[in-house]
């Protein structure tokens, strides 16, 4: 299994590196916008004024998951509100589906999986290896982003800053949400052997849960989804309140259920070779 993990990580080396570095470079802009009072005034205050009309639009505010307009224009608010609660899960889900599809369903479709399938491994070993990568990849890349983003915070004197430990905890919780959608995509692609199904189900669930999160105050069904099964709903305010065992258990349970479903299908089906 160790040799196979090495193979999985060496084939898409460039892809992994891109996903580790590109969002991190973008994330570094956030603390740098608070380099000093005058930069903050130019980059942040002008935006707050320019987009102030948005604060009166409830639909848009819900869509972006913003409940406190002024809080968005603080470093902590930017990172923990809409970035961690929306962009991190989306990026983690997309990157997980891209990577795992390349190793599994897409590899079956383009034929490279035939070489892997001829190696002395059981389907269970192959699936378990993919599952480990599926779960760890999103957490690894998102942690890389937050650690790289923390470099300017730790080394420069900024007009605003964030605490390391709560930020990393919040990052973990938000990435776990993204992993749940990515793992669903991977599992369904493994179940059916079709990479397109991975995208449909993974991003479909993300969309449904995000809409439920947006509209939870307007409809009982959306509220129930948000409170009971949504990974977005499970993201409270970990930066302030710390990690919540119940929220983490919910998301981990979803991940495990998705993985079991994928395994049942992958173990028993013919490979989708061209």
3-state secondary structure the chain: CHHHHHHHHHCCHHHHHHHHHHHHHHHHHHHHCCCCHHHHHHHHHHHHHHCHHHHHCHHHHHHCCCCCHHHHCCHHHHHHHHHHHHHHHHHHHHHHHHHHHHHCHHHHHHCCHHHHHCCCCCHHHHHHHHHHHHHHHHHHHHHHHHHHHHHHHHHCCCCCCCCHHHHHHHHHHHHHHHHHHHHHHHHHHHHHCCHHHHHHHHHHHHHHHHHHHHHCCCCHHHHHHHHHCCCCCCCCCHHHHCCCHHHHHHHHHHHHHHHHHHHHHHHHCCCCCC
Report the residue number, 6 or 240, with the smaller CB distance to another protein. Answer: 6
Report the residue number, 159 or 196, with the smaller CB distance to another protein. Answer: 196
Q: Is the dihedral of CA 237, 242, 246, 248 positive or negative?
A: positive
Report the residue number, 117 or 252, with the smaller CB distance to another protein. Answer: 117
Shortest reach from residue 190's CB to another protein, in Å? 15
Report the residue number, 14 or 246, with the smaller CB distance to another protein. Answer: 14
Report the residue number, 110 or 241, with the smaller CB distance to another protein. Answer: 110
Shortest reach from residue 125's CB to another protein, in Å? 8
Report the residue number, 9 or 43, with the smaller CB distance to another protein. Answer: 9
Kindly list the residues in this chain that would bind another protein in the complex (CB under 8 A): 3-4, 6-7, 10-11, 13-14, 110-112, 114-115, 117-123, 268-271, 273-274
Shortest reach from residue 137's CB to another protein, in Å? 18
Alpha-carbon distance 4 to 125, whole Å?
9
Shortest reach from residue 93's CB to another protein, in Å? 24
Report the residue number, 128 or 208, with the smaller CB distance to another protein. Answer: 128
Shortest reach from residue 267's CB to another protein, in Å? 10
User: Apex CA 242: angle with CA 135 and CA 97, to 5°?
Assistant: 20
Alpha-carbon distance 41 to 44, whole Å?
6
Shortest reach from residue 83's CB to another protein, in Å? 32
Shortest reach from residue 1's CB to another protein, in Å? 10
């Amino acid at each position: 299994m160790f040799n196979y993990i090495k193979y999985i990580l060496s084939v898409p080396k460039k892809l992994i590196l891109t996903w580790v570095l590109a969002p991190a470079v973008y994330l570094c802009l956030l603390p740098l916008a608070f380099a000093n009072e005058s930069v903050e005034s130019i980059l942040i205050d002008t935006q707050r004024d320019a987009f102030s009309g948005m604060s009166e639009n409830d639909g848009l505010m819900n869509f972006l998951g913003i409940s406190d307009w002024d809080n968005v224009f603080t470093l902590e608010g930017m990172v923990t509100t809409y970035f961690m609660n929306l962009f991190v899960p989306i990026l983690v889900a997309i990157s997980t589906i891209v990577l795992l599809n390349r190793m599994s369903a897409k590899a079956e479709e383009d034929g490279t999986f035939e070489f892997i399938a001829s190696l002395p491994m059981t389907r269970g070993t192959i699936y378990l290896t993919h599952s480990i990568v599926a779960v760890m990849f999103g957490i690894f890349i998102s942690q890389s982003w937050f650690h790289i983003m923390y470099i300017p915070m730790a080394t420069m004197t900024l007009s605003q800053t964030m605490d390391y430990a709560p930020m990393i905890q919040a990052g973990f919780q938000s990435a776990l949400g993204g992993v749940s959608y990515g793992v669903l995509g991977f599992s369904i692609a493994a179940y059916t052997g079709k990479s397109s199904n991975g995208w449909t189900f993974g991003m479909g669930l993300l969309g449904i849960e995000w809409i439920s999160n947006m509209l939870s105050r307007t409809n009982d069904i959306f509220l129930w989804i948000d409170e009971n099964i949504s990974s977005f709903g499970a993201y409270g305010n970990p930066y302030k309140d710390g990690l919540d065992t119940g929220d983490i258990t919910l998301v981990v349970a979803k991940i495990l259920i998705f993985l079991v479903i994928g395994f049942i299908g992958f173990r028993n089906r013919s490979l989708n070779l061209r």
